[in-house]
Structure 1
Amino acid sequence: MVQRILSTDGLTFSVETFDLPPLGAHDVRVAVEFAAPKHGTETKILTDSPFVRHLWDDELRMFLPRDAATPAPTALPRAVGNTVVGTVTEVGAAVTRLTPGTRVFGYGPLAEAHQAAEEHWHALGTLTPQDAVCVDPGHVAFVAVRDGNIRLGDDVAVYGLGAIGLLTVQAARAAGARRVLAVDPV
């Protein structure tokens, strides 16, 4: 039995005890030693998901505003968290890249243990656990600056200063932005 943290609204939390499924041939089981939620992402998902605020129209393939006749669905508990770091404890018979004792990181909510296919996990190598949980927001920040076509001398505004926003500020400066305005509602 392992435990994980759940929330329906991002303000109240509970601990759920559950069993991991039987180990599949390509699965890797990991004992978690360090984990991190991303507060901006978690808050957005829990409180402002388009599936809560709008209705999906399959025919139009777009979200439409809800009316009084179609209230938002009841929020269900969901696991909280984004990235975990831990040590491989068991591997399935077809796993070739990882062995018990290997330190790894990958996507997953806050829980004592995880189980996922081998390709889900990345060897920690020389990264610290703290650095490993920044890989995802660092990648998002890099892509935002690249796709935003930020160039030397540009002025840039970054809205939201969670992990992704803070790293985007740094990436924009490194890309040559003249001024970076950082805005957060908190």
Structure 2
Amino acid sequence: MPRELVAVSPRKPVLIEYEEPPLKSGQIRIKSRFSAEKHGTTLLIYKGLSPFSDKVFDADVGLFFPKETRRGWTVSFPIKLGNITVGTVVEVGDNVKRFKVGDRVWGYLPIRETHTVNEGEVNPAPSELSDEEIVCIDPAAVALMAVRE
């Protein structure tokens, strides 16, 4: 049975077994090759230090509020860890157009051994980049946004 990395409470990671659902039309199954955790927001969430841990973010006004006063995005445990994965397509559902078995792909996915996702949730992995380089796409994009601002 495959396993995934989950924080059951702040600073308490565990490997938990899970079952993959059957493939639906338009879905692919991926076997993970390399995954990474984002060093900013998700690491703070893991440590229990993020404002998302005890407040709610209201995107309309761009501010955090006490949970009891607003509805919005917040954090609760257990929470899946990881934010980017490179993998190999191992199964393809009906009506999948972009990928075939054996294709190398990447996406914003947690750290787990396998993933069942809609084909639009992942991207083809550039052959000129290693798995380790691909997981740096997200931090590089954040740095680029900071420079542009």
**TM-score where L is the length of structure 1:** 0.66
The CA deviation at 1:25 is 0.7
CA distance in 2, matches of 1:92, 1:74: 33
Give the aligned partner of residue 104 of structure 2.
103
Q: What is aligned with 1:31?
A: 31
CA distance in 2, matches of 1:114, 1:74: 22
2:88 equivalent in structure 1: 87
Sort the Cα spacing of 1:74 and 1:53 in 2 relative to 1 into closer, same or farther, 3 A. Answer: closer
Looking at structure 2, the residues matched to 74 and 83 of structure 1 have their Cα atoms a distance apart, in angstroms, of 19
- Residues 6, 105 of structure 1: alpha-carbon distance in 2 compared, 3 angstrom cutoff: same
Partner of 1:139: 141
SS at match of 2:140: helix
CA contact (8 A) 2:45 2:52 kept: no
Q: Which residue in the other structure is 2:71 paired with?
A: none
Q: Which has the higher contact order (CA 8 A, sep 6+)?
A: 2
What's the RMSD between the two structures over aligned residues?
Answer: 2.5
- Change beyond 3 A, Cα 1:66–1:106: closer
- For residues 115-154 of structure 1, the aligned pairs below 5 Å read 115-126=116-127, 127-147=129-149
User: Does 1:114 pair with 2:115?
Assistant: yes
CA distance, structure 1, for counterparts of residue 41 and residue 64 of structure 2? 20
Tell me: CA distance 1:66–1:77, structure 2 relative to 1, closer, same or farther (3 Å): closer
Secondary structure of the residue aligned to 2:40 is: helix
Q: 1:96 aligns to what SS in structure 2? A: coil
Q: Once the 2 structures are TM-superposed, how far is the Cα of residue 132 of structure 1 from its aligned partner? A: 0.6
Change (3 A) 1:108 1:56: closer
> Is the contact made by 1:87 and 1:101 (CA closer than 8 Å) also made in structure 2?
yes
Residue 65 of structure 1, CA deviation: 4.0
User: Which residue matches 1:52?
Assistant: 53
Contact 1:26 1:92 in 2 (8 A): yes
Q: How many angstroms does 1:66 deviate by?
A: 6.6
The answer for unaligned runs of 5 or more in structure 2 is: 69-73
**Alignment CA distance shift 1:30-1:144 (3 Å):** same
Mapped to 2, the partners of 1:61 and 1:128 lie a distance apart of 36
Give the conservation status (yes or no) of the 8 Å contact 2:5–2:16: yes
Query: Percent identity at matched positions?
Result: 35
